[in-house]
Structure formats: structure tokens, C-alpha cells
Amino acid sequence: MSTPVEIAPARGKLGVLLVGLGAVSTTTIAGVLAIRKGLAKPIGSLTQMGTIRLGKRTEGRSPKISDVVPLAGLDDLVFGGWDIFEDDCYTAAKTAGVLEPALLDELRPELEKIKPMSAVFDQRYVKRLDGPNVKKGRDKKDLADQLTADIRKFTADNKLDRVVMLWCGSTEIFATENPAHATIESFERALEQSDPSIPSSMVYAYAAIREGIPYANAAPNLTADVPALVALAAKTGSPLCGKDLKTGQTLIKTIIAPGLKARLLGVAGWYSTNILGNRDGEVLDDPESFKTKEESKKSVLDYILQPQLYPDLYGDLCHVVRINYYPPRGDNKEGWDNIDLVGWLGYPMQLKINFLCRDSILAAPIVLDVALFLDLAKRAGMHGIQEWLSFYFKSPVHAPGLYPEHDLFIQLMKLKNTLRYLKGEELITHLGREYYD
């Protein structure tokens, strides 16, 4: 045992501010309300159902994670958010078409009370969308100040103790880091000049981080993953994580690929294709938004398979990712993977995966876990990039000079060891020699 980290108690109410009240957000909110009422179970959520082994295997101590670290309770969560559409959360959830109307009707009064605040939005960054509920401002700095006013009002109106913010808005067009993102000063100057290199998502991230609020990015766009905002987070004590929730096909990829590599089976090709019919699919039908998603999805295999270490096995890997917008399926995505494997003496084999998944059903427990763990991080005095939350993301944000860890099982070990570290419990290395001494 070492000294536990001092963690402030999860007293009072926690505000969960979601940018974009679309399929993912409304499925998260309605899900939490349903679970609160005992209508459903929080399946897929580590904070609600996960356990953690503490001490030696012989000790038989495997409490629930929520009994080990002080997490905000579901009854203490208050949801709010922004969207470019004026629909309240009930109407938005109906439009998203993820949850059964009968369930939404049971939750209707509470869902209807959640009305989106007007958004910071510029169609240049999400070409396929346009909506009326949008703020006007002198420049991007002024728009950030308006968001800060929204956050403060939401906190006061709901008598909140703490707030976290998650970007669950649409995927913005592909962008790379540029000099405006280099320092806090250059970033603030760029805000004042309404520099095009600051997309809407960064305006939200800036407003949250400047307030010291934990911030996560559920989408693949850059958002807070630039030096200026990481530096600002260090100054204000804001924990950060992202990017792009690891659901569906990429989740399966990061489960299968480490297994193939563990057995040193070669991979000559990995062809992934999807059909998806929700609004996210419509936005991703724009090539510039798709490019952001494609980059996020494609990097996974390179990092897991490490072709530079295993050129004979993965040096010539052909990795193709396609997303096809196909409205009849709505949020119920269907993904196909064809993996061309290589075995002993170079003999080829094939593996086919057909995953009929539900995108937002896989995403909602992640949004809940990330909100609760980021709030924990804040109360434990951990700020800046929270690499231990990589488990939840396709493109985990990481320190410069490090490569991101994509292997789901290493990510889970890192997450659980971080919880053990916080509580002063022994870290588990799985060495296990002591059982045979």
C-alpha cells in the first residue's frame, strides 16, 4: 500500500453539459433517467457495473469500482447542453430514433425540460448541417464569453457543485494543428481575430477549460488537442480527454488485433466497411468530415500491430475504411470486416466479422463513464491529458513524443491501475511469482 491521493468528496450536484443534443447525447440522458427510475440496467458502463481486483488473487477482494473511488451518483447528475436545433431532449431523442418511443414517453416530462442553449456554430466546419438556434457575436472571443455566461447561469440555476463538458457535436471538417494553436496568447489572439483555424468545437473547449471545467471530446476533430488548450488546462486545473468514442467497428478492431499480434499471425489486409443512416452518417457523407473520421479510424491498426517492429507480419498491410450513408438503417449500423491473415510458412487465411451494432447504445455508457471519471480526476487534482481514459477513445490524446496506446486490454489495465494508485492500493503487474515462492 502507498499513500492514497487526496480526493475531494463527490458532494452536491454534478452538471453534465453536452455540446450537441443528437443521438449520442439524448441516448445518454434518457438512459440515465431510465436507469434512475429502475426501468433499465446500465449495461456497458464500467462506473456502474465494473469491479476491480484489489490486492492478491488469494485475498478475494473485487469490489465494485463505484465502491472504491468516490464517483458522483446518477441521482446527482443534471444534464444540459447546446444545439443548433431548438428541439428539446424528448423531441431530439425521437428524431434520433435510437430508443423505443414507449420508453421515451415514460421519461417525457423530464426530457422535455432539457432545452438546448443556442449554439456556437459555423457551417464552414460542418457542411451538411444548418440550424436556427445559433449565437451571434462580434468575434469568436465574444462567442466564447457567451458560452461562459451560459455555463455560469446553468450552474447557478441548478445549484450545481461541479460541471463537466463533453463535445458530442457533429464531426467537423479535417484540420491540423497550426501556429494559432501554439500558445495561449496566439490562441486568444486568433479568437479575437475570428481566425478560420478556430472551429466551433475549439470555442467550446476554450470556454470550458478557461473555467477549469473538465472537458472531453467524443468526436474525432482536434478540439482541445492543441498545445494552447493543453497549456490552458494546466493553468486552470482542467482534466482533458478524447478523441472519438471507441464504439462499433473500431472497438472490435482493438479487441481482435491485439489477439492476432499476440499470436504473431500476419495481417496482409483489413477491409472495413459500414452502412449507417443517422445524422452522424449524413454529416460523414461529406468528404471533409469523413477525412477527420478516417484518420481517426485508420491509425488504430498501425499502433497496435507495430509494423516497424514486425515488418514480415504487418509491413505491407493494406487497411481500408469506408462509411456509407444509408438512411434506412438509422442508428443501427452494420459493419463488415474482412481480414486477410497469414499463418505458418505464409499460408493465407481469412476472418470475416459482421457486426450489427447500435452506435449510440454503445456510445452512451462511454459518455457517462467519461463524465464521472473526469469529475473524479478534477476532485483528485489531476489536470491536463488523462491518458488513463484512452480506453474509451479511438484516437487517445497523449503527451507529445509518446505514441498512443490503442490495445483495449492495456488501456483497461492502465485505467484500473490508475484507480488503484488513487486509493494507495498495490498496482497489479500480473507477475505473480509470490504464489509459487
Ligand X SMILES: NC(=O)c1ccc[n+]([C@@H]2O[C@H](COP(=O)([O-])OP(=O)(O)OC[C@H]3O[C@@H](n4cnc5c(N)ncnc54)[C@H](O)[C@@H]3O)[C@@H](O)[C@H]2O)c1
Nearest to 296 by CA among 335, 249, 261: 249
Tell me the CA distances in angstroms from 25 to 93, 300, 401, 429, one per residue in order: 9, 25, 33, 36
For residue 53 the three cell numbers come to 481486483
By C-beta, is 19 or 54 nearer to ligand X? Answer: 19
By C-beta, is 337 or 359 nearer to ligand X? Answer: 359
Residues 217-236 that bind ligand X (CB under 6 A): 218-219
By C-beta, is 155 or 278 nearer to ligand X? Answer: 278
By C-beta, is 280 or 294 nearer to ligand X? Answer: 280
**1 alpha-carbon distance from chain centroid:** 32
By C-beta, is 133 or 306 nearer to ligand X? Answer: 133
Residues 248-267 that bind ligand X (CB under 6 A): 248
By C-beta, is 287 or 343 nearer to ligand X? Answer: 287
Residues 352-371 that bind ligand X (CB under 6 A): 359-360, 362-363
Could you tell me which stretch among 56-64, 82-90, 186-194, 338-346 binds ligand X (CB under 6 A)?
82-90
Choice from 82, 270, 290, 373 touching ligand X (CB under 6 A)? 82
| Burial (Cβ within 10 Å: 0-12, 13-18, ≥19) of residue 258 | middle
Write phi, then psi, for 394 (nearest 5 degrees): -75, -35
| Residues in contact with ligand X, shown as a per-residue x/- string from 268 to 287 under the rule CB under 6 A | ----------xxx--x----
By C-beta, is 225 or 244 nearer to ligand X? Answer: 244
Write phi, then psi, for 270 (nearest 5 degrees): -140, 110
> From CA 270, how far away is CA 75, in angstroms rounded?
44
By C-beta, is 15 or 20 nearer to ligand X? Answer: 20
Instruction: Please list, in sequence order, all residues whose beta carbon lies within 8 angstroms of the beta carbon of residue 297, skipping any fewer than 6 positions away.
Output: 249, 250, 272, 321, 394
Residues in the interface with ligand X (CB under 6 A) total: 36
Using CB positions, name the residue nearest to ligand X. 22
3-6 long-range contacts, CB within 8 A, separation 24+: 3/424, 4/422, 4/423, 4/424, 5/380, 5/381, 5/421, 5/422, 5/423, 5/424, 6/380, 6/381
By C-beta, is 66 or 274 nearer to ligand X? Answer: 274
Could you tell me which stretch among 13-21, 46-54, 157-165, 190-198 binds ligand X (CB under 6 A)?
13-21
Q: Give buried/exposed letters for 92-117 (b at 16+ CB in 10 A, else e).
A: bbbbbbbbeeebbebbbebbeebbbb
Closest contact distance (angstroms) between CB of 365 and ligand X is 11
| Burial (Cβ within 10 Å: 0-12, 13-18, ≥19) of residue 285 | middle
Q: How many CA atoms lie within 13 A of 300 on its CB side?
A: 34
91 binds ligand X (CB under 6 A): no
Closest contact distance (angstroms) between CB of 336 and ligand X is 17
Choice from 22, 214, 239, 277 touching ligand X (CB under 6 A)? 22
Closest contact distance (angstroms) between CB of 14 and ligand X is 21
| Residues in contact with ligand X, shown as a per-residue x/- string from 37 to 66 under the rule CB under 6 A | ------------------------------
**290 alpha-carbon distance from chain centroid:** 18
By C-beta, is 207 or 267 nearer to ligand X? Answer: 207
Choice from 119, 190, 208, 415 touching ligand X (CB under 6 A)? 119
> From CA 115, how far away is CA 82, in angstroms rounded?
8
Residues 288-347 that bind ligand X (CB under 6 A): none
> From CA 229, how far away is CA 227, in angstroms rounded?
6
Closest contact distance (angstroms) between CB of 295 and ligand X is 13
301 contacts 257 by C-beta, under 8 angstroms: yes
- Helix ranges (H only) for 97-237 are 101-106, 108-112, 140-157, 184-192, 200-210, 227-236
> From CA 127, how far away is CA 288, in angstroms rounded?
8
| Residues in contact with ligand X, shown as a per-residue x/- string from 139 to 178 under the rule CB under 6 A | -----------------------------xxxx-------
Choice from 30, 68, 83, 406 touching ligand X (CB under 6 A)? 83
Residues 175-214 that bind ligand X (CB under 6 A): 200
Pairing between β-strand 266-276 and β-strand 318-325 as defined by DSSP bridges: parallel
**Site residues, ligand X (CB under 6 A):** 19-24, 82-85, 96, 119-121, 126, 129, 131, 168-171, 200, 218-219, 244-245, 247-248, 278-280, 283, 359-360, 362-363
